[in-house]
Structure 1
């Protein structure tokens, strides 16, 4: 894969240089594939020596995994920066910001969640599982529900399932074109609000009802 003219090297702090290499890798992997992009391509496009990539990331494989992790894991500052408003508004803002990130990094996002990434690769699978766990925490924080204890694990399971739906919906928007941006936003906002305000209470009621039904092993005497 060719990467065009090599950019002029600039003196950067290590953290800035690492972030720049990641940004270049995100763009190149998004435009091509893991197999078609080499560390030489990334080094040339980033204006660094190839050994520097190994120094920061360990190699192409580790750099690719970091790109996937960066794309699918919701960073804590996204939630921490939400305004002090009702949960409905906080979730709307959070989802809008997520859509903006995916829109800016369309190709990299599709690469991160696409068949090549999720093709039964144990390390990618672990990253996606980690992303779902972190996303559940972020959603609870955005919804001001971090203190929920009753039915917490079923609630987290439902939010993790919502995360899978989010990835599928993003493909409908970006690949199939069956949802436009506004429709996607409404779908995701209303779905998570329905989950938290209607589905979760219904699951709690079902669970509590099962505990008191005649013949239940949990029924009270």
Structure 2
């Protein structure tokens, strides 16, 4: 891991982003409980007090890093390549799998029901409430962006009941995403190509076809 040289003067937004990048690098390989605030500050090339200034606590920094990991960036959803829906879904799934591979450790702690901030499995009963909220918020945002990117012309106001069902289907799909990731990363029962095929085929099938709208 390459920490930035200490002592550089950065604008607040740039410094905050740099600290977040450092947290994502460390948590990609190590669980929350094994990482100290001092290590995070050292990786970011800042004093511990500056880390606390921007994020308050190690926990809040971790939760912010989770939001970044679990939230599909608007630009990633808006700029999907491909002419057909299947091609665009494939591009979205490829983006997700690349992200998971790069942040494997952090994804395993939350994305597939591993150990959350409080040491309790997030995907099961009794998960950390704040982590649960991060996951739920990320699912809502992702549902919005998936529908916007892959169901062009969708108008929630035109048929509110159908919109509720569509959003529920997409959110349920994210449960499959997490389960498939577990089969790939933890059990080794699926390889990346198998996960990709499963996720692409399922998402294409659950989205409404143009003639349905």
TM bin, normalised by shorter chain, reads 0.7 to 0.9
> Taking structure 1 as the reference length, what is the TM-score of the superposition?
0.81
Quote the residue 1:120 is aligned against: 127
**Structure 1 contact 170–184 (Cα < 8 Å) conserved:** yes
Q: Which residue of 1 aligns with 2:19?
A: 21
Separation in 2, partners of 1:195, 1:8: 48
The structure having more radius of gyration, on CA atoms, is 1
**Contact 1:30 1:111 (8 Å CA) reproduced:** no
1:108 lines up with 2:106 in the alignment: yes
- Shift in Å at residue 166 of structure 1? 0.2
TM-score of the pair, normalised by structure 2: 0.83
Aligned partners of 1:84 and 1:31: how far apart in 2? 33
CA distance in 2, matches of 1:108, 1:120: 16
Note the residue ranges of structure 1 that are not aligned, 5 or more in a row: 205-221
Q: What is the deviation of 1:197? A: 4.5
- Give unpaired runs (5+ residues) of structure 2: 117-121
Question: CA 1:32 to 1:194, structure 2 compared with 1: closer, same or farther past 3 Å?
Answer: same
11-20 vs 174-183, which moves further: 11-20
Q: Which has the bigger relative contact order, CA under 8 A and spacing at least 6?
A: 2
Query: Match for residue 201 of structure 2?
Result: 190
Query: Which deviations, in whole Å up to 9, do the C-alpha atoms of 1:31-72 show, x marking residues without a partner?
Result: 222222111110112211001111111111110100111111
Answer yes or no: is the 8 Å Cα contact 2:82–2:91 preserved in 1: no
Q: Which residue of 1 aligns with 2:150?
A: 143
Report the 3-state secondary structure (helix = DSSP H, G, I; strand = E; otherwise coil) of the residue aligned with 1:115.
Answer: coil
Q: After the TM superposition, which of the residue ranges 58-67 and 17-26 deviates more from structure 2?
A: 17-26
